[in-house]
Amino acid sequence: MTPDDIRRTAFAMPLTSPAFPKGPYRFVNREYLIISYRTDPEALARVVPEPLAFADPIVNFEFIRMPDSTGFGDYTESGQVIPVTFEGRRGNYTHAMYLNDGPPIYGGRELWGFPKKFAQPTLAVERDVLVGALDYGSRRIATGAMGYKHVALDPAAVLKSMSVPNYLLKIIPHVDGSPRILELVDYRLEDVTVKGAWTGPASLELAPHALAPVADLPVREILSATHILADLTLGLGTVVFDYLAS
């Protein structure tokens, strides 16, 4: 292949057989269990990168079931998302994500900078409760539960909450191990259709783990829980801050 051939065809690794296709990436019947909790402000300050800021020490622990996603397949994801502000505008910073499928790990990290690692999350209804669980190897590190569809929520209000900016810290190393790319990325959820949303009583348990430190943001108080079923497109991002430019 000539250099021109390579420049024309390359968009992801490996060159001749990319691990994921080009977007857009559409998700059908994406199901969320989001448990919002209060944590220690000192612990949160250690992981939120400037120029992002937070007003309250709140974390959203998410379990997400994705049975039908373009190019990525059928998988489940779990992790921690932190409400933040950037230049005075409210949004969410994705701190850690764990999932059980290769293409969305590779694509999420390479394209957007999602902090994805391989693990075994699940989300399912067990009789009268919606249960999310996250295992890292043989160790259970998170369990969330919510009473199944106890109270319906306003879909318009949920849609508004899903329309805020989302921020990621994209890190790609140079061949010498130093950061080649170090950027704050803004991405949005697009063409969102909320098919249903509910709330109910909830619980969340986190356990320490050396390589999946979800418990480093400990649960001090459960604030709310939300169960959402939606179709959406995962939009590509824009760079809003370059840490290597200064």
Q: How far is CA 102 from CA 11, 68, 71, 110, 241, in A?
A: 17, 15, 11, 12, 28
Number of helices (H), then strands (E), belonging to the chain: the values are 4, 15
> For residue 3, is it within any domain?
no
Q: Give the predicted TM-score (pTM) of the model.
A: 0.96
The number of folded domains in the chain is 1
pLDDT band (50, 70, 90) for residue 171: very high
Q: Which helix (H) or strand (E) holds 242?
A: strand 238-242
Active-site residues, by number, are 116
Q: How far is CA 94 from the centre of its chain?
A: 5
**Residue 246: is its pLDDT beyond 90?**
no
> For residue 75, is it within any domain?
yes
Q: How far is CA 149 from CA 36, 72, 78, 125, 205, in A?
A: 17, 28, 20, 10, 21
> For residue 7, is it within any domain?
no
Q: Peptide bond before 3: cis, by omega within 30 degrees of 0?
A: no
CA atoms within 13 A on the CB side of 118: 6
pLDDT tens digits, one per residue of 133-150 = 999 999 999 999 999 999
> For residue 10, is it within any domain?
no
**Which two tokens mark 106?**
């590779």
Q: What CATH number is attached to the domain comprising 162?
A: 2.40.400.10
pLDDT band (50, 70, 90) for residue 216: very high
Domain span including residue 222? 20-239
**Which two tokens mark 126?**
């067990």
> For residue 5, is it within any domain?
no
> For residue 162, is it within any domain?
yes
- The C-alpha atoms of residue 208 and residue 31 are separated, in whole angstroms, by 26
> For residue 58, is it within any domain?
yes
pLDDT for residue 208? 98
> For residue 136, is it within any domain?
yes
pLDDT band (50, 70, 90) for residue 107: very high
